[in-house]
Amino acid sequence: MSSKIGCFAFCQSRHDSLHNGICRAPRIALTNRVQIFHDPRCTKYRRSGHPERPERIVRTVPLLKSRHGEWQWHEPRAAADEELLRAHSREHLARVAKASQDFDFDTPAYSNIDFYARQSAGAAIEAARAATGGKGAFSLMRPPGHHAMRDRAMGFCYFGNVAVATLDALAPADGGPRPTTAATGKVERVAIWDFDAHHGNGTEALVAHNERIMFASIHQYPGWPGTGTKSFANVLNFPIAPYSSRSNHVRAAEEALEKLLEFKPQLLLVSAGFDAYKSDPITQMTLERDDFATFGKWLADVKIPTAAILEGGYSDELPELIDEFLSNWGS
Ligand SMILES: [Zn+2]
């Protein structure tokens, strides 16, 4: 084990800790009870034929509840203007609030999308705060967020949930609304690990050149949105060719996580997208169920506060993929 990767310092070796998940170090990042932030109302909007559909969540909730009675469920609150404005322009907030024309082909102007998007961003903030307070947390919400730009909704995303949560974690305690529901610790550096199959172009744009943030995205390229080919400043991009071998993909994800941990963040946020799965209908990648279990095992060995936020994942197996990830993280 390289000593420079301090967060894995207890592990016998990098190979042991990451590939096989047999680190014998005490696990402090996550209690055995996964904290899930979820609002059932996030399933109340849909457009016929759209892959980002309510069933993604509707089928996941009962599966997790039936298998993991000990996990704790929390209803999130809406993100406030002050919190969203750390990432987005006031004009963008107004456009989402009054959405009447679709933002683009992928990103409809659903009725009340402002409400749903604010709940999703609020859940990301609350999950990050729960992590900072010592509890590993997962936001099980829609819409996703990692394609939303400062001034633009795109790619099924309206607000940059993970970027909003990151900027909230870095904000001074007296610099904005901070509910008293979660304990807060001092966070100087945040790392974002985005394993969704699409480049986290929105997150990249919202955090680029912020020295207190390190962002890594592992994604299909060529593929939508067609960005994320180069690393720069605080951004690490790992483009993966369509139909690449699963082992190459997993190795890139591992390298990305290691580099993020070298940054010595006090908080790790995960853009957890499950659309790199081999059977996902909108990508051409090859990960299997076990690989998402592996990602969860890695997080179990990361000894810093960690929260994950659902991004994509459009196959019918999404509930099982989420369970593999969370079960191995929270075990
Ligand atoms: Zn995606």
As a whole number of angstroms, the distance between CA 321 and CA 315 comes to: 9
Report how many helices (DSSP H) and strands (DSSP E) the chain contains, helices first.
Answer: 11, 8
Residue ranges with CB less than 5 Å from ion ligand 1: 196-198, 273, 275, 312
Task: Determine the straight-line distance between the first and last CA of the chain, rounded to whole angstroms.
Answer: 23
Q: How confident is the model at residue 175 (pLDDT cuts 50, 70, 90)?
A: low
**pTM exceeds cut of 0.85:** yes
- Average pLDDT of 264-279? 98
CA of 270 from ligand 1 middle (Å) equals 13
pLDDT given for residue 144 in this prediction: 98
- Average pLDDT of 136-159? 98
CA of 273 from ligand 1 middle (Å) equals 6
List the catalytic residue out of 88, 146, 147, 198. 147
pLDDT given for residue 32 in this prediction: 58
**Tokens linked to 91:** 């004009």
199 in catalytic set: no
∠ CA 213-173-326, rounded to 5°: 55
pLDDT, tens digit (0-9, with 9 covering 90-100), for 73-120: 999 999 999 999 999 999 999 999 999 999 999 999 999 999 999 999
Nearest to 244 by CA among 218, 270, 208: 218
pLDDT at 7 over 70: no
* DSSP helix/strand/coil, 217: strand
pLDDT, tens digit (0-9, with 9 covering 90-100), for 228-261: 999 999 999 999 999 999 999 999 999 999 999 9
CA distances from 248 to 47, 195, 240 (A): 36, 14, 8
Q: Which segments of the chain does DSSP mark as H helices, in order?
A: 14, 55-58, 60-67, 81-84, 90-97, 113-132, 161-170, 201-207, 246-262, 289-301, 318-330
pLDDT at 273 over 50: yes
As a whole number of angstroms, the distance between CA 125 and CA 131 comes to: 10
CA of 283 from ligand 1 middle (Å) equals 8
Q: How confident is the model at residue 182 (pLDDT cuts 50, 70, 90)?
A: very low
* DSSP helix/strand/coil, 53: coil
CA of 198 from ligand 1 middle (Å) equals 4
CA of 308 from ligand 1 middle (Å) equals 15
Largest CA distance in the chain: 56
Nearest to 14 by CA among 261, 235, 240, 238: 261
* Amino acid identity at 94: A
**CB neighbours of 267 closer than 8 A, spacing ≥ 6?**
128, 131, 132, 166, 169, 187, 189, 190, 191, 304, 305, 306, 307
As a whole number of angstroms, the distance between CA 92 and CA 108 comes to: 15
**CA torsion sign, 300 to 303 to 306 to 308?**
negative
pLDDT given for residue 296 in this prediction: 97
Residue 52, CB-side half-sphere exposure with 13 Å CA sphere: 21
pLDDT at 56 over 60: yes
Nearest to 160 by CA among 84, 217, 260, 71: 84
pLDDT, tens digit (0-9, with 9 covering 90-100), for 285-330: 999 999 999 999 999 999 899 999 999 999 999 999 999 999 999 8
pLDDT given for residue 205 in this prediction: 98
Rg (CA), the chain: 18
Question: What domains are there in the chain, each with its CATH number?
Answer: 29-329 (3.40.800.20)
- Residue by residue, DSSP assigns 102-153 as -SBTTB---TTHHHHHHHHHHHHHHHHHHHHTT--EEE--SS--TT-BTTB-
pLDDT, tens digit (0-9, with 9 covering 90-100), for 316-325: 999 999 999 9
Residue 26 DSSP symbol: P
Q: How confident is the model at residue 162 (pLDDT cuts 50, 70, 90)?
A: very high
